[in-house]
Structure 1
Amino acid sequence: MPIPSEETVADLVVDLIEQRGLDLEGVQISRAGKLSTVRVLVDGENGVSLDQIATLSNEVSAKLDEVDEFGTLPYTLEVTTPGTDRPLELERHWRRARGRKVEVATATETIEGRIGRLDAGSVDIVVRGKSGPTVRAVQLDDVVRAVVQVEFSRPNARELELTGGVAQGRPAPGAAPVAIEQEGTEE
């Protein structure tokens, strides 16, 4: 029996994920010979903690083990959050990325700026100008492709102010990485 489709896996786990207050952002299945990887992508309004990922991974694994969809074929399960290269497609993606640098392509132009407020099918993009940053409204229906850009330096304070700040629960652009404490390590 082959590995089930991405749609079948999504149907099996979506309720479980939503019960945890998270959104299913996608399911990806990759096959390499007899080995398969099932990747379940989740996100939430305030981000997703490592503890939530660990708990959800165990719960999704148990759910998939309950059904005969996989038969006896081995697979690796990965429960993770979408990467920064995920296209912004839904309003919640834009809302959660507020304050981040983005490249937006419409049918007529490409705009680079910082994601601002979202309102009634439109998003503000804070763009740099010769006389300082300005806010430009872009209709979401006009967006062909939009991807958050990776940043290594802190953003311009005025740009960030114009965006309305970083979305709650999300890391500030250009912020130092958060140290992860490990039990049993000595300094």
Structure 2
Amino acid sequence: MSTTQSERLRELLEPLVSSQGLDLEEIEVDSVGRKRVLRVVVDSDEGADLDAIADVSRALSAKLDETDAMGQGEYTLEVGTPGAERELKEHRHYVRATDRLVRFQLTSGDELVARILTVDEDGIDLEVPGVKGRKATARRIAFENIDKARVQVEFNRKSNENDADMKEEEEA
């Protein structure tokens, strides 16, 4: 059974990323002219700050330098996080998106934008915003009925008790 370069890189790098307290979300190898670019996307339940990204980047670079996983040619290593409008693929992604507004493409072909309230093993409980002054409604969706889901950027994000607590701490 042959494995792709991305699969071999994942096997090599995932234990190292995990040892740094992060999840390896994605690996992508692209050719840009004569150079290659290795993009590694990491995240955690608490998020990954710049210090964590720098630490894991140094560790990955050292590991890649001591192996021939990228071959003999030049390459650039880019380490980052999934970004604001991340696609939700794994159960942990939905858990991390709790209280966030998400656009869902359902297997029925319907599209829905709703806020994730809770996540369990079978599905998610949502708050669907009301339209034209109507109250928000509750809805449950099983994971098997979700084709795609992507976090939405909110400029006027719904505030909750945690946001108020954080604001009070900042003012103190």
Category of TM-score, reference length = shorter chain: 0.7 to 0.9
Matches within 5 A, 1:92-171: 92-108=92-108, 109-129=110-130, 130-155=133-158, 157=159
- The answer to whether 1:16 aligns with 2:19 is no
Alignment TM-score, normalising by the size of structure 2: 0.85
Which residue does 2:75 correspond to in 1?
75
Opposite residue 135 of structure 1, the aligned amino acid is A
* 2: CA distance, partners of 1:94 / 1:6: 25
Opposite residue 11 of structure 1, the aligned amino acid is E
Deviation at 1:89, TM superposition (A): 1.0
* 1: CA distance, partners of 2:121 / 2:67: 41
Deviation at 1:114, TM superposition (A): 0.9
Q: Name the stretch that deviates more: 34-43 or 126-135.
A: 126-135
Structure 1's unaligned 5+ residue stretches are 167-171, 176-187
Deviations 1:154-177 (A, max 9, x none): 32x5xx57xxx78xxxxx9xx9xx
Higher helix share: 2
3-state SS of paired residue (1:15): helix
* 1: CA distance, partners of 2:71 / 2:128: 52
Structure 2's unaligned 5+ residue stretches are 168-172
- Contact 1:84 / 1:147 at 8 angstroms: preserved in 2? no
Q: Which has the higher contact order (CA 8 A, sep 6+)?
A: 1
Alignment TM-score, normalising by the size of structure 1: 0.78
Deviation at 1:98, TM superposition (A): 0.9
3-state SS of paired residue (1:10): helix
Deviation at 1:85, TM superposition (A): 3.2
3-state SS of paired residue (1:36): strand
Deviation at 1:96, TM superposition (A): 0.4
Which residue does 1:184 correspond to in 2?
none
Q: How many residues align?
A: 159
Q: RMSD value over aligned CA atoms? A: 2.1
- Contact 1:23 / 1:44 at 8 angstroms: preserved in 2? yes
